[in-house]
Amino acid sequence: MKLWLVRHAQPLVESGVCYGALDVAADAAATLQAARSLAQALPEGVPLVSSPLQRCELMALTLYGLRPDLTYKTDVRLTEMNFGCFEGQRWDAMPRQALDDWTADFWHHRFGGAQSVAEFMAQVASVWDEVRLGPQHQVWITHAGVIRAAHLLAHGVRQVQHAAQWPLDAPGFGQWSVLNVALAPATLANSDDRVSK
């Protein structure tokens, strides 16, 4: 099956500001432009699953308006990582010690006090595992961190010990990537059973 990983359009926030789980709006014109491109690329009837944050939900609703054949729901597990007390602060103004602590224990440290990378990966993995149970294509309208986590999961990586192991690449604002997702073994077995009968 195919999984479309769509990043929200340009957020209305100053460049260099940490806005992970912060519910900031996205540029409406950029969202419409991205939704129009995506509407031409998606197969008929594919389900949309969106982060509930408004920058993603605007994309989902705009796309749904262009393609009413699609189904749509939100899932809080597609929300970006929560950086706690550092949400809304400039990255270049954060305490050096806080960044060093996170780098030293990248997997377990709760940078900002809210969520660790381990907790965030588990959050994304729970949605990923559900997708692998069904053969239907799906679209996630989400955030760069979720997309990076999904790419790790697609390569069988469920744990990263060092910050250098975390992917840097992600689609640009309003862009997407497509993963070919291998179905879970139980699903393949059930599929084979149905074919043989």
The residue-averaged pLDDT of 47-73 equals: 96
pTM for this entry: 0.91
The residue range of the domain holding 174 is 2-196
The residue-averaged pLDDT of 75-94 equals: 97
The residue-averaged pLDDT of 42-51 equals: 95
Provide the 3-class DSSP secondary structure of residue 166: coil
- CB 84 within 8 Å of CB 115: yes
Q: What is the C-alpha separation between 76 and 58, in angstroms, rounded?
A: 15
Packed helices 54-66 and 28-41: angle between N→C axes, nearest 10 degrees: 50
pLDDT band at residue 182 under the 50/70/90 scheme: confident
Q: How many domains does the chain have?
A: 1
CATH number at residue 98: 3.40.50.1240
